[in-house]
Amino acid sequence: MTDFPYTFTFLRHGESIGNAEERFQGQSDFPLTDTGRAQAQVLAERWLRDGVKFDLAVTSSLVRAKETAEIVTSILKIPLEIDPTWVERDNGELSGLTRNEVEERFPRPEFITPYDSFGESGEGDWELYLRAGKAVHELIKRPAGKYLIVTHGGLLNKVMYAILGIPVQANSNGPSFRFENTGFVTFQYVPPRHQWRMIRFESPA
C-alpha cells in the first residue's frame, strides 16, 4: 500500500443552462450548455495527455453533473457510478429562480442560524454539512484507489469544511471555496493517521 492509499478529485460540473441564466439551480435539473460540454471535454483531454488516472468516477444524479461525468469518463475510459448523495443542496423555494426573482420574493433574514432551512424549505447549512460529511465517509469505506467525484459547488463547499475540519457558522460566515465550472480539488488521504493532504486546487477563470 502506498503512503497515501486514497486519492480523491472533486470536480464541479461544466456550465449549465441554469448557470448561464444565473439561476439558483439547487436540485432543478438543468442540462449543460455547449460551453459546458466543451469545458468537460477540454479538461478530460488534458488529463488524458497528462496521464491522469482514476479507478472509478462517481457522479451526482443531476443531469449537469452526470453529463459532465459521462464526457470525462468516455475520454478517460473509466467506469462511472451514479450516487444521489452527491446532488446539489436542496434550496427549497429558490430552486430554478433567477437572482432578481429571489431578491424580490425572498428577502434575506437579518440573522440565519446553521439550523435554519435554506429557501424556506430546503437544506440549511448544518444539514448540508452533515450530508457532505456522510458522502466523504462513504468514500473512505471503498477500497483504496483513485476516485473522481463529479458534483456541485454548494455541496463542494461543505465537503471542504468536512475534510478541513471547519465548523459551520451562523449567517453563512466562514470561508467560501469558489469552484468555477470544471474547477476541481484533489486530496490524498491516509486512514490510519487520518491525514489529509490537498495537492491541487484549480478553478478555471
> pTM value?
0.95
Is residue 1 domain-resident?
no
Q: How many folded domains does the chain comprise?
A: 1
> What interhelical angle do 63-76 and 34-50 show, nearest 10?
30
Is residue 142 domain-resident?
yes
pLDDT, tens only, 81-109: 999 999 999 999 999 999 999 999 998 88
Is residue 38 domain-resident?
yes
| Average pLDDT of the residues in 108-120 | 93
| Parent domain of 139 | 6-202
Catalytic positions are 13, 88
Is residue 145 domain-resident?
yes
State percent of the chain over pLDDT 90: 94
Is residue 57 domain-resident?
yes
Question: What per-residue confidence (pLDDT) applies to 2?
Answer: 55
pLDDT-derived band of residue 1, with 50, 70 and 90 as boundaries? very low
